[in-house]
Amino acid sequence: MILRLLTDIFFPERCLVCHRDTSARSAVDGSGGAGGRGYRACCSDCYAGIPVSGIPPAPRESDPPGFSFFIGSATAYNHPDIQKLVHALKFDRMRSAAEPLGDLLFAYASEARVHSAIAPMVAGANIIPLPLSKKRLRKRGFNQADLIAQRFGKRMGIPVAADTLVRARHTKPQSETASASERKENIRGCFAVKRAPPANIVLIDDVVTTGSTLQEAAKVLRAAGANHVFALTVAAA
């Protein structure tokens, strides 16, 4: 008790977004603990200021019969607070940042119009986080999509099957490619299915740009027997 009081005085927990002391303001990291270097993930004020999209995902006309692939995003990546949280998670290794990001996915999936559109897809579904290559996983120490997926799955009551989809080979980051066609070529053939997927899948990632990585993953899952893949990302760039 005394140690906790002294820690709060001399090393106050701070919101990753506004950097203000969160000891007197509720945080939404869900863990009750520090998010690394004295920070909590996100105070409730900053979390409430992040807009959540109410736009339901739309199917693609190019999908083959019996299969559907949707992409939905909770918010836009150009929001500065989202950029801070995603950067803190991926590059500063502050794992607690995954929890408000997962909560944003839950808020998006719970929005009335979105929920009615995705309800048939999430029925009996498994959550699959987009996997990292072994090289990138060793360097980062964790898969940020998996941490977000675990939080989202807990809130939704949907199991996470992180061992279903794997990276078959290492690729350079998609952010280092120069065009959409280069992105598709860079990611081609990089995924493999480790075990048979369920018919319905919720595929989780942090940020989507062109969607080529998610499309490649969906193609592999479809070939392995999936009927519906709902790709859900925290933000769209």
Domain covering 50-236, topology: Rossmann fold (3.40.50)
Predicted confidence at residue 116, as pLDDT, reads 92
Contact 55, 66 (CB under 8 A): no
17 versus 193: the higher-pLDDT residue is 193
How would you classify the pairing of strands 228-236 and 14-15? unpaired
Q: Nearest 10 degrees: CA dihedral of 40, 141, 179, 60? A: -80
The beta strand positions in the chain, using DSSP E, are 14-15, 39-40, 68-76, 126-129, 165-167, 191-193, 200-208, 228-236
- List the chain domain ranges: 1-46, 50-236
State pLDDT tens for residues 116-149. 989 988 889 999 999 999 999 999 999 999 999 9
Give the burial class of 232: count Cβ atoms within 10 A of its Cβ; 0-12 exposed, 13-18 middle, 19 or more buried. Answer: buried
Backbone angles phi, psi at 231, to 5 degrees: -85, 120
For residue 147, the model assigns a pLDDT of 97
Query: How far apart are the two ends of the chain, measured CA to CA in Å?
Result: 44
Q: What is the pLDDT of residues 198-226, one digit of tens each?
A: 999 999 999 999 899 999 999 999 999 99
